[in-house]
Amino acid sequence: MRIAVPREIRDGEKRVALVPDVINKLTRLGYEVVIEAGAGVHSQATDDLYTAAGATVKSGNVISDADVVLSVTSLTPAQMGSLKKGAVTISFLSPVTGTDSIDAAASAGVTAFSLELVPRISRAQSMDALTSQALCAGYRAALVGAELSPRFFPMLMTAAGTVTPAQVLVLGAGVAGLQAIATARRLGGVVSAYDVRPSSADEVKSMGATFINLELEALEGAGGYAREMTEERAAKQRELLTPYIAKSHLVITTAAVPGRTAPRLMTAKMVDAMEAGTIIVDLAAETGGNVEGSKPGEIVVTAKGVQIWGGKDVPSQLPFHASSLYSRNVVNLLTLMTTPSKDGAPVSLNIDFTDEIIDKSATTHGGAKHTPGASEKGGAK
Ligand code: NAD
């Protein structure tokens, strides 16, 4: 049974699906691991390190004869079409927008798993790549904000006078937001945060930040995610947040609702009302933007001197640890569907749709799209 890891081909993608450290977990199960030459170049994972870890490094196409293909971003429809019938892929698949690749996987008889669909149950925490990558993005958001800011973050008492600490506001206190809070706090900033899920208040407080309570209706949805807000609710939220935004030196926005464009938390008018030198970091820039005027991969400077940093491929900006955490998520998911080699029997894949994690994260199987819960005992475990 051969696992292949191709080079990521999407522009700006610097992560790799397996780092050398995890190769022995797979070879111990009985798998052979083939890495495309140069796949780990941005993650300090050299071809020599892969070879030393027990993988085979090959140039050119490594996927067409593989039983399992691991990647970070989705394989293209053409790559899906080139795989062996019955092969398994694990990657982010963008199940809402990446339908071409999913259709191609179904036609090719490939079983394609989408990491976005791994259910948020405690047994699946070690496989939750959305969480591990959001952690990287949140950390990076605070560092970028501090770097762009013309101010110190900590309070300093110096012979030349006292420096007051930076006021940091984090909007959206999920995984990325909490990590942004923790990082901004470590830098010495005074942090407050808001989220539509009141259950995040205790987490915000436990990070040493202040939770802003706007006394608005809670928008707690299924699986720990938020629900979409109505335009009326959005306008009220923006109005109530305006005074908090106005006194901030750095605003980090991370708000998201799965499968939807990012909620608009700040209008251009709100940005215009901010002081020169204020920094806005919009981690949702790629999915529509929490902040009007933000552009993914760019720093927009307003006429008044406010800088809006639009996130693009943010976890990829920390490729070493983003790849390392991602690799562990992928290995844990693959291990769940592996029967290790034993007593002379070779390693094999056991795609058991009665396991909730496997059932919910598979998008295709047996030449068709997979519908979770379709198996007789689906979701029972
Ligand atoms: P996410 O990336 O979908 O959203 C980021 C944050 O934006 C969320 O906290 C959401 O409530 C918030 N948000 C949405 N609309 C908003 C708005 N209009 N204004 C302000 N904030 C808004 O979510 P996420 O960070 O991936 O996860 C959210 C929560 O899910 C986590 O905080 C955690 O409680 C839970 N979770 C559970 C598990 C698990 O049990 N295995 C794993 C990861 C996360």
- Quote the ligand 1 centre to 88 CA distance (angstroms): 29
Atom of ligand 1 nearest to the CA of 176: 25
Which residues in the chain land under pLDDT 70?
Answer: 375-381
- Quote the ligand 1 centre to 196 CA distance (angstroms): 9
| 14, 35, 310, 315, 316 from 323: Cα distances, Å | 9, 14, 22, 9, 8
Q: What is the pLDDT of residue 185?
A: 98
Q: Which residue has the least CA distance to atom 10 on ligand 1? A: 226
Q: What is the pLDDT of residues 43-55, one digit of tens each?
A: 999 999 999 999 9
Which one of 197, 207, 314 would you pick to mutate in the ligand 1 pocket, going by the greatest count of ligand atoms within 8 A of its CB? Answer: 197
Q: Which residue has the least CA distance to atom 31 on ligand 1? A: 174
Q: What is the pLDDT of residue 376?
A: 53
pTM across the whole model: 0.95
Q: Which residue has the least CA distance to atom 41 on ligand 1? A: 120
Residues whose beta carbon lies within 6 Å of some atom of ligand 1: 120, 125, 128, 130-131, 134, 171-177, 194-197, 200, 224-226, 229, 254-258, 263, 265
Q: What is the pLDDT of residues 170-214, one digit of tens each?
A: 999 999 999 999 999 999 999 999 999 999 999 999 999 999 999
Atom of ligand 1 nearest to the CA of 228: 15
Q: What is the pLDDT of residues 264-277, one digit of tens each?
A: 999 999 999 999 99
Q: What is the pLDDT of residue 276?
A: 95
Q: Which residue has the least CA distance to atom 35 on ligand 1? A: 224
